[in-house]
Chain A
Amino acid sequence: MPRIDLPQGTLDLLILRTLALEPQHGWAISERIQQISSDVLRVQQGSLYPALHRLERRGWIKARWGTSENNRRAKYYELTKAGRRQLEVEKDAWDKLTAAVAQVLGTA
């Protein structure tokens, strides 16, 4: 199955959505996105971490060190309250955008 690189700006949304389920470390986040999208979406690993740090700085997620499933020290990210609100906002915007794009494609 061909994989699609993420369109600009959607990575943040996907990270927030993934973290809405439970706190995760970076590797798990990328795995999760890939799994849920049935391997269609591929996260550029090099850009995942800058995105995480950016979101942390904006206060939408926060980080703490924890123990991973294979018993190693890993950095876990979890959604903050502000992050939850932001997720709603971005999800709304995304829905509107896809609906609009679909509409245009449908009528043209």
Chain B
Amino acid sequence: MWSDVLIRVRTLFRRKSVETELDDELRFHLERQVEKYVQIGLSGEEAERRARVEFGGIELAKEECRDARGVNFIETVLEDVRYGIRTLSKNPGFTAVAVLILGLGIGSNAAIFNTAEAILWRTLRVHDPQSLVRLIAVRQDHHESNYLPVELAEELRRGGNRFSDVITTNDDGLSFSYNGGSAERIVGEVVSPNFFTFLGIRPALGQGFSAAVQKGQWAPEAVLSYRFWQRRFGGDPQVLGQTIRLNNYPFTIVGVSPRDFYSLVVGFDPELRVPELAPGQSLSQSELLSAPDVEIMARLKPGVGITQAEASANAACQQFFRDDQRNQREVDPARSIRLSPGGKGREEDLAQYRTSLLILVGLAGLVLLAASFNLTAMLLSRATTRRRELAVRAAIGASRSRLVRQMFTESVLLAIAAGVTGFFIMSSTGNTIRSLLPKGHINVVLDLSPDLRAVWFTVGLTLLAGVIIGLVPALQATKNNLNLGLKSDSAASIGDTRGVVFRKSLTIGQVGLSLVLLTTAGLFERSLANLEAADPFPRPDRVLLFRMKPQKELYDSERIRVLTAEVLRGMSALPGVKSAALAEEGPYGSRGAMHATVHSLDGRTISADMDIVSSGFFATLGIPLLNGRDFSVQDNQTSKPVTVVDENLAQQLFGSDSPIGKLVRTPVQENDVTFEVIGVVRVSRYNDLNQPPPPMIFFNLQQQGPYMPTLHVRMASAGAGTVVSEVRRAFDLIDKGVPIFDVKTLQDRATDKLAQQRLVSDLAATFGSLALTLVAVGLYGLMSFSVAQRTREIGIRAALGADHGQIMSLVAWQGMRIVLVGVALGLPVSFILARLIAAMLYNVHPIDLFSFATMTFILAIVSLLACYVPARKAMKVDPMVALRYE
């Protein structure tokens, strides 16, 4: 055993001397043999000849000796790699195309996998994520909620033995200002002071919360997120110790959290974190600091299982819920808790992306398959042209296995280069994918930097691709009698039908795969177009939206009313503005639909979507008023509550009666309020574009105070630039302390609403075009090869009188037959896939003839073009030259 290792190592590291020794040993043998023959009377020449003949192939013996020493494997691999690199760099055009094709295939898979991983599977980058658990309240009616009373965390910390520690988090919008500038709206997270130590996160800058704060002595300290620090402060290290204002209260910056930490919620990256106030204390400027309900995360003690911990924690929690007065007063009080693994953070927000992402992962897989087919075919045809080289190598003693290994090594090298390319594609597509994610009042921020799992995935794909593209061409090239290769090329190639058949099937496979990808993309694209067309508002690109957040801690309801009236007056008068109105949310808002239960006085009840809007809202958006009137300034705090409903609601509650003047009841902050219907508007898709609109009811902003309203401005013409700055300036004049944010046109909002559909549709289209390009390249390659091989036949045909058209159609038909078979195979698969994605389509039948016909047509046109060039070449074959060529 030991001698084995020693010899291998010696052979590997002292290759030179070992080789010399081998030479010496064999030379000695031969000389001795020659000597012997000379002694028995042969002439020197004859003796030498006999000795050599007797010995046999010296190189072969050496090779076998090297094999016997056992390190030959590593050495031949190194040799193969060197040789492979030389061969590949001798043919840079081929290599570049091959690496690009496979790199795109691997890259699209890696990029999609990385995105799916970041959204669905990524573990938090914190200390020991596996021991983290989230606490979830289970309410009386079995509803679950992430928010629990803050005192429960205190209770669990005292309990001591179940969890090693507990943290709380809670987030909301804050009004941020710095150096006397205008207020900006940010999202802050209020955390228990042990937040960073609990998670084992060391700040990228500064110390984080001071020791005093961590001991429970509250101080206004803030830790910025890495990205907010970069964006707002340009990454300036001098920010430490600076004062910022949150809801006007001064806080000191004590740190910046590390770059790779976002939050405990997937897709969420709060701009800063501040410590929560101890129970019982409060700060009038920010209710968030002393919010009664928070999210709770705990760390299991080592060796404690999650069910075990849940059982013992529940004993304390159930008691706590029974004793908690506030809980008992709720309509649906919490009863117990459930523990959920917390290592991946809270992912519900983006869980809706799961199906889309999995479909995209699958589609990307098809692209890689098509790319592998393409490359296999390329390598096959190259192997055919390399016959001569292989035959020469075989003749001077390379065994078949050695040649197979050599070609295989080249394929693996190609795959590795492609893998590296793919990795860069993945790393550089982060921004593109991020731009496809929705942006609302809280941005979805994803950590898309590839982690170890994405790296391994890429490596795995690379090796897999290497094996797929490498094995077949290597075997194929060495299968037939290699001696043939030394004879004339054309004589050898005529018998080579099997390789061509195989390449044809690969091309057929590519056609089929690309048809599947194209039709899928076509269906998604149609669905998206239908959704976009469902947007009912006229010229949404001329409606500008500004979200504003007068912090309720700073603006009482009277001040807000004055503010909104002033805003409406000021904005309507601006140049370039036709009209302005306010709504609590507006169409396609990122906060989602608000719901109301509406009762008619005769006892009918329906659930409706609602919004709270100012007068002029319907006109600004272009929602036609069908009956009655809009809200007016006369409808105020002191007059009777009024409401405007849509046709849909009027129809469902009042049938054919005129709804004007009718009364409806609906709960407002736990009191039933009766409203008089004063107007009816046309039905419009207000929230979801992909669902039939539910009944809609509008309340009056003057009567129901706003919380985070959106200003709607209809511009006289498109082109938001000057109007945005005009509006911002006007806001500053009215009140610098109100943050204005989430500024976009109504069209942008509709776009955001369809972000997920667009993500799927755009990526599917990208994959489809990629596959289509592959088909074009593959078909072109195959047909050129075939024309080159059939030069003689074509020459004879031309000599016998075939005209250009006949020859052209001969070649074109040969190519299009492949396409036809591919389409015939691809269509059924497309149909099956279409059925699978039917639920994701809007107003598109899964077997949508239009999509299928269009995509097949596009595929056919591109294929024809790909065949055209080789066909032209065939047409120009000169019979004389072709026949002489033999």
Q: Given A44-B56, A57-B7, A59-B4, does the pair A49, B65 have CB atoms closer than 8 Å?
A: yes
Are the C-beta atoms of B28 and A25 separated by less than 8 Å?
A: yes
Are the C-beta atoms of A46 and B55 separated by less than 8 Å?
A: yes
Residues of A with C-beta under 8 A to B2:
59
Q: Is B128 engaged at the interface, CB distance under 8 Å to the other chain?
A: no
Residues of B with C-beta under 8 A to A57:
3-4, 7-8, 68-70
Residues of A with C-beta under 8 A to B835:
none
A51 to B64, CA, bound (A): 9
The stretch of A13-21, A68-76, A100-108 that contacts the partner chain: A68-76
Q: Is B54 engaged at the interface, CB distance under 8 Å to the other chain?
A: yes
Q: Is A90 engaged at the interface, CB distance under 8 Å to the other chain?
A: no
A27 to B26, CA, bound (A): 9
A26 to B21, CA, bound (A): 13
Q: Which of B7, B21, B60 contacts A46 (CB 8 A)?
A: B60
Q: Which of A50, A56, A75 contacts B28 (CB 8 A)?
A: A75
Are the C-beta atoms of B54 and A45 separated by less than 8 Å?
A: yes
Are the C-beta atoms of A50 and B56 separated by less than 8 Å?
A: no
Q: Given A27-B28, A45-B56, does the pair A50, B64 have CB atoms closer than 8 Å?
A: yes
**Nearest CB of A to B597, in Å:** 86
Q: Is A53 engaged at the interface, CB distance under 8 Å to the other chain?
A: yes
Residues of A with C-beta under 8 A to B61:
45-47, 49-50
Which residues of A, 61-101, contact B by the 8 Å Cβ criterion?
Answer: 62, 68, 70, 72-75
Are the C-beta atoms of A59 and B3 separated by less than 8 Å?
A: yes
Are the C-beta atoms of A75 and B21 separated by less than 8 Å?
A: yes
Are the C-beta atoms of B55 and A56 separated by less than 8 Å?
A: no
A24 to B8, CA, bound (A): 23
Are the C-beta atoms of B4 and A58 separated by less than 8 Å?
A: yes
Which residues of A, 5-48, contact B by the 8 Å Cβ criterion?
Answer: 25-27, 31, 44-47
Are the C-beta atoms of B33 and A27 separated by less than 8 Å?
A: yes
Q: Is B32 engaged at the interface, CB distance under 8 Å to the other chain?
A: yes
Residues of B with C-beta under 8 A to A68:
28, 32
A79 to B7, CA, bound (A): 17
A68 to B28, CA, bound (A): 10
Residues of B with C-beta under 8 A to A46:
55-57, 60-61, 64
Q: Which of A26, A27, A53 contacts B69 (CB 8 A)?
A: A53
**Nearest CB of B to A50, in Å:** 4
Residues of A with C-beta under 8 A to B57:
46
Residues of A with C-beta under 8 A to B70:
57
**Nearest CB of B to A2, in Å:** 17
A74 to B54, CA, bound (A): 20
A50 to B3, CA, bound (A): 16
Q: Is B604 engaged at the interface, CB distance under 8 Å to the other chain?
A: no
Are the C-beta atoms of A75 and B24 separated by less than 8 Å?
A: yes
Greatest chain A CB density within 10 A among B4, B8, B36, B68 is at B68
Residues of B with C-beta under 8 A to A26:
25, 28-29
Q: Is B35 engaged at the interface, CB distance under 8 Å to the other chain?
A: yes
Q: Is B46 engaged at the interface, CB distance under 8 Å to the other chain?
A: no
CB-based nearest B residue for A82:
B3
Which residues of B, 1-42, contact A by the 8 Å Cβ criterion?
Answer: 1-4, 7-8, 21, 24-26, 28-29, 31-33, 35-36
Residues of A with C-beta under 8 A to B7:
56-57
CB-based nearest B residue for A75:
B25
Residues of A with C-beta under 8 A to B556:
none
**Nearest CB of A to B761, in Å:** 62
A72 to B32, CA, bound (A): 10
A50 to B58, CA, bound (A): 11
Q: Is B349 engaged at the interface, CB distance under 8 Å to the other chain?
A: no
A47 to B21, CA, bound (A): 17
Residues of B with C-beta under 8 A to A59:
1-4
Are the C-beta atoms of B67 and A70 separated by less than 8 Å?
A: no
Are the C-beta atoms of B24 and A50 separated by less than 8 Å?
A: no
**Nearest CB of B to A18, in Å:** 15
CB-based nearest A residue for B7:
A57
Q: Which of A49, A51, A54 contacts B25 (CB 8 A)?
A: A49
A57 to B2, CA, bound (A): 9
**Contact flags B126-151 to A (C-beta < 8 A → 1, else 0):** 00000000000000000000000000
Greatest chain A CB density within 10 A among B36, B64, B67, B70 is at B64
CB-based nearest A residue for B4:
A57
Greatest chain B CB density within 10 A among A25, A46, A47, A70 is at A46
**Nearest CB of B to A91, in Å:** 22
Residues of B with C-beta under 8 A to A54:
68
Greatest chain A CB density within 10 A among B1, B3, B31 is at B3
Greatest chain A CB density within 10 A among B21, B33, B61 is at B61
A9 to B29, CA, bound (A): 22
**Nearest CB of A to B57, in Å:** 7
A75 to B20, CA, bound (A): 12
Are the C-beta atoms of A47 and B64 separated by less than 8 Å?
A: yes
Q: Given A46-B57, A57-B3, A59-B4, does the pair A74, B28 have CB atoms closer than 8 Å?
A: yes
Which residues of B, 815-848, contact A by the 8 Å Cβ criterion?
Answer: none
Are the C-beta atoms of A56 and B3 separated by less than 8 Å?
A: yes
Are the C-beta atoms of A72 and B28 separated by less than 8 Å?
A: yes
Residues of A with C-beta under 8 A to B67:
50
A43 to B21, CA, bound (A): 22
Residues of B with C-beta under 8 A to A62:
3
Are the C-beta atoms of A70 and B35 separated by less than 8 Å?
A: yes
Are the C-beta atoms of A53 and B28 separated by less than 8 Å?
A: no
A93 to B69, CA, bound (A): 26
A50 to B8, CA, bound (A): 15
Are the C-beta atoms of B28 and A45 separated by less than 8 Å?
A: no
**Nearest CB of A to B882, in Å:** 49
Residues of A with C-beta under 8 A to B65:
49-50, 53
Residues of B with C-beta under 8 A to A74:
25, 28
A63 to B25, CA, bound (A): 11
**Nearest CB of A to B377, in Å:** 40
Residues of B with C-beta under 8 A to A58:
3-4
**Nearest CB of B to A84, in Å:** 15
A75 to B25, CA, bound (A): 6
> When A and B form their complex, which 5 residue pairs have the shortest distance between CB atoms, in order from nearest?
A59-B3, A46-B56, A50-B64, A53-B68, A54-B68
Listed by A's residue number, 16 A-B pairs whose Cβ atoms lie within 8 Å are: A25-B29, A27-B29, A27-B33, A45-B29, A45-B55, A46-B55, A49-B26, A50-B64, A50-B65, A51-B68, A58-B3, A59-B2, A62-B3, A70-B32, A74-B28, A75-B25
Query: Which residue numbers of A lie inside 8 Å of B, CB to CB?
Result: 25-27, 31, 44-47, 49-51, 53-54, 56-59, 62, 68, 70, 72-75
